[in-house]
Amino acid sequence: MLFKKKGLFTVGDALKVIEIASKENAKEIIVMCDAIDEDAKRRLWDYAKGVELMADLTGEERSVKVEILEGYVSDKVKGIEL
């Protein structure tokens, strides 16, 4: 899933992304933003690690890949606007 945010990507935005991704059972989260807060990065990575740990406990094969593209937001790429 691709999420786009012009301006600063904050912890509040990260929580919205995590909520949407968990409902959709996403395998990949891509965030495209002008700049990102360090706490927001940590929140996304913690979510990915938490999914991996819960999958290990339940015996599932599940993981979430988090990719952060910082510095440019393309208008031509389709994604969820925050």
| Domain CATH number, residue 17 | 3.30.750
**How many structural domains does the chain have?**
1
Q: Decide if 62 is inside a domain.
A: yes
| Distance in Å from the first CA to the final CA of the chain | 13
In this structure, what is the dihedral angle of CA atoms 43, 40, 16, 2, given to the nearest 10 degrees? -100
Query: Edge-to-edge, what's the strand order for the sheet holding 80-81?
Result: 65-70, 28-36, 2-9, 80-81
What's the whole-number average pLDDT of the chain?
A: 93
Tokens of 25: 């059972």
Q: What confidence score (pLDDT) does residue 5 get? A: 94
Evaluate if residue 82 carries a pLDDT over 90: no
Residue range of the domain that includes 13: 2-74
Q: Decide if 79 is inside a domain.
A: no
3 state DSSP class of 81: strand
pTM higher than the cut 0.85: yes
Q: Decide if 82 is inside a domain.
A: no
Q: Decide if 81 is inside a domain.
A: no
Mean pLDDT throughout 49-65?
Answer: 92
At 27-43, the pLDDT tens digits run 999 999 999 999 999 99
